[in-house]
């Protein structure tokens, strides 16, 4: 398995403002020394030496993660604005896939707003399966594509090959992968997913305000949280902010590290980034999370930012 992050911003999309881009360019220019410009190799070396927060951006699009099981066999989690770029990327694959499986954590705008612009949904030759543990999925999806909020409706223009599935307690098996779900602590209900395939386990766990019961070593918790090779986790806040925003439905990165360590996760990807945090702040949080992980379990847990555009083997 391998996953690609198409959107990891929480709550609403963020764009780099003109001032933010100017500031990045100005900072890079100040760092250049004459020796960095001497040859193509030295220029490459200079660019490679720049920190991630400066040479790029963490993510502007909201939640969407693609999980490829094998070539041409894939699952998609959430349809935030990231699914628009995902859709474009699919046009470049040869041959373009004719079938998609899209799982929804919940229906807050930041997990849904890309769907009206997901080109594949308008292609009558493409089959799309949508999944949620909640009943009434078709109504939930079509209800937000309606006059006066959107010029066309799902029924009028989208592919007749859309299928809507309510997940039962046992989850579902697709392409030989087992997909389990679990309800998370989030206003209005949200659901996390665990995918097991080829001896590996992948977790997509957002949006969630972690609580004590998520740490309890029950059989049910263990079946879902234990031993993930990759855990993508809502870690929107710093600890201070999480205390201020108690009951908002998101977690701090430090609690996320505690949680990942307690369930023996291999690699943790911090996800659902707070829209008011800029790239530098997110990098700072990552360093703090790594220091905290080092102190918590001696650094066995590897911690990363879920950056838009990364593709990672599970």
Question: Residue 207 or 278: which CB sits closer to Zn ion?
Answer: 207
Which residue in this structure is represented by tokens 């049910």?
A: 220
Q: Of 108, 194, 273, 307, which one interacts with Zn ion (CB under 5 A)?
A: 108
Site string for Zn ion, 45-84 (x = CB under 5 A): ----------------------------------------
What 3-state class would DSSP assign to 85?
helix
- CB-closest chain residue to Zn ion: 108
Please report how close the Cβ of residue 186 comes to Zn ion at its closest, in angstroms: 6
- φ, ψ dihedrals at 75, nearest 5°: -120, 155
Residues 6+ apart with CB under 8 A from 164: 130, 137, 138, 141
Please report how close the Cβ of residue 190 comes to Zn ion at its closest, in angstroms: 6
What 3-state class would DSSP assign to 75?
strand
Would you count residue 234 as binding Zn ion (CB under 5 A)? Answer: no
Which residue in this structure is represented by tokens 């009434």?
A: 136
Structure tokens at 56: 């790029």
Would you count residue 9 as binding Zn ion (CB under 5 A)? Answer: no
Would you count residue 258 as binding Zn ion (CB under 5 A)? Answer: no
DSSP for residue 2: E
Please report how close the Cβ of residue 142 comes to Zn ion at its closest, in angstroms: 20
Please report how close the Cβ of residue 216 comes to Zn ion at its closest, in angstroms: 23
Q: How many residues does the chain have?
A: 314
Structure tokens at 272: 């659902």
Question: Residue 109 or 304: which CB sits closer to Zn ion?
Answer: 109
Please report how close the Cβ of residue 62 comes to Zn ion at its closest, in angstroms: 7
Site string for Zn ion, 184-223 (x = CB under 5 A): -----------------------x----------------
Question: Residue 78 or 258: which CB sits closer to Zn ion?
Answer: 78
Structure tokens at 13: 């999309």
What 3-state class would DSSP assign to 86?
helix
Question: Residue 1 or 285: which CB sits closer to Zn ion?
Answer: 285
Q: Could you tell me how many residues of this chain bind Zn ion (CB under 5 A)?
A: 3
What 3-state class would DSSP assign to 67?
strand
Question: Residue 1 or 64: which CB sits closer to Zn ion?
Answer: 64
SS3 percent helix, strand, coil of the chain, rounded to 5, is 35, 25, 40
Comparing CA positions, the residue from 207, 182, 147, 176 lying closest to residue 10 is 207
Site string for Zn ion, 109-138 (x = CB under 5 A): -x----------------------------
Beta-bridged to residue 75, according to DSSP, are 67
Q: Which residues bind Zn ion (CB under 5 A)?
A: 108, 110, 207
């Amino acid at each position: 398995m391998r996953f690609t992050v198409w959107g990891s911003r929480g709550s609403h999309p963020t764009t780099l403002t003109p001032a933010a881009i100017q500031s990045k360019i100005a900072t890079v220019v100040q760092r250049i020394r004459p020796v960095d410009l001497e040859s193509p190799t030295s220029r490459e070396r200079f660019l490679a030496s720049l920190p991630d927060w400066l040479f790029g951006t963490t993510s502007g699009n909201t939640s969407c993660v693609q999980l490829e099981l094998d070539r041409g066999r894939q699952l998609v989690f959430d349809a935030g604005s990231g699914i628009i770029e995902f859709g474009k990327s699919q046009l470049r694959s040869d041959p373009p896939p004719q079938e998609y499986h899209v799982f929804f954590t919940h229906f807050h705008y930041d997990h849904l707003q890309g769907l009206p612009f997901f080109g594949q949904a308008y292609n009558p030759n493409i089959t799309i399966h949508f999944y949620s543990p909640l009943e009434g999925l078709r109504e939930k999806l079509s209800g937000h594509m309606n006059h006066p909020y959107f010029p066309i409706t799902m029924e009028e223009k989208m592919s007749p090959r859309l299928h809507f599935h309510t997940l039962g307690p046992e989850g579902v098996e697709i392409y030989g992968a087992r997909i389990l779900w679990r309800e998370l602590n989030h206003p209005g209900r949200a659901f996390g997913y665990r995918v097991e395939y080829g001896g590996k386990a992948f977790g997509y766990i957002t949006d969630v305000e972690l609580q004590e019961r998520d740490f309890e070593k029950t059989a049910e918790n263990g079946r879902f949280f234990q031993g993930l090779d990759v855990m993508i986790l809502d870690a929107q806040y710093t600890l201070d902010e999480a205390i201020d925003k108690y009951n908002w439905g998101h977690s701090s990165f430090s609690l996320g590290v505690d949680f990942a360590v307690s369930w023996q996760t291999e690699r943790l990807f911090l996800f659902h980034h707070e829209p008011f945090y800029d790239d530098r702040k997110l990098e700072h949080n990552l360093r703090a999370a790594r220091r905290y992980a080092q102190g918590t379990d001696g650094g066995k847990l590897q911690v990363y930012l879920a950056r838009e555009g990364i593709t990672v083997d599970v």
